[in-house]
Amino acid sequence: MPPDISMFSAEDAYNISLQRTDHIKFPLTFKLWAKGYPFALKWEAGLRKNAIINGAIADAKREFDQIANYLGARPIQKIVDIGCGHALIDLYFWEKYQCDIHLVDIETTTTHHHGYKDSGAGYASLEAAKNYLVANGVPAEKIKITNPQVSALVEKECDLIFSLLSCGFHYPAASYAAFVAASLKPEGVFLFDLRKKSDQDDYLKSFVHTDVVMDEPKYRRVAAIKG
């Protein structure tokens, strides 16, 4: 049975389209957004809400299967998703591992961009993300949410911290270096998308081992193992 997406609004679809731009059908709507005119993309998100959301869910399932295959028999009891968006992939982590889930996102920012900058841009709703997980069977007490712009980000004894098309891709992976170092268990995994030609390889030296989980034209999905 496909996930329940009834809690998502057209505004959520708009944000999800900016998280996963492959599901924007009309190129002009994104070009106008990039020039500071969001109304056309908002129109498309309202018109094609279910198609955008379901397309992103299909991406999440495909990417989860790949990550789970890499993790193999590792016990996964606690995860942190940095730049979680609407937590589409986190539902699959729950279904397989029944793990504690910590959702992290800055949600909204005054500046918007889609390149690689010193800091990220926000297109998300933590409330909508939590509602999605709860509606699809995740107990509310298994979910923690943090907007780092609003409250301190604190966690401990994590098996997996991951960030897909966010930390390392749109802004430096080292932005969360202190949090990752303090929060991962020994031999825990930090899995993130390392944008090519972004001069970040030195950060990987702080880990005892790294694996390339996926190699795409713009980035490598790297699993970095804590010592």
pLDDT of 116 reads: 75
Q: What is the pLDDT of residues 102-159, one digit of tens each?
A: 999 998 876 776 677 777 677 899 999 999 999 999 999 999 999 999 999 999 999 9
Q: Tens digits of per-residue pLDDT, 195-220?
A: 999 999 999 999 999 999 999 999 99
Axis crossing angle, helix 126-135 with helix 90-97, rounded to the nearest 10: 40
Residue 23 lies in a domain: no
pLDDT digits (tens, 9 = 90+) for 69-88: 999 999 999 999 999 999 99
d(CA 165, CA 153): 20
Can you give the residue range of the structural domain that contains 154? 73-225
142 assigned to some structural domain: yes
Share of the chain above pLDDT 90, in %: 89
Alpha-carbon gap, residue 84 to 107, rounded angstroms: 9
Residue 149 lies in a domain: yes
CATH number at residue 131: 3.40.50.150
Q: Is residue 59 part of a domain?
A: no
Query: What long-range pairs does 30-38 form, CB within 8 A, spacing at least 24?
Result: 33/112, 34/114, 38/14
Total number of domains in the chain: 1
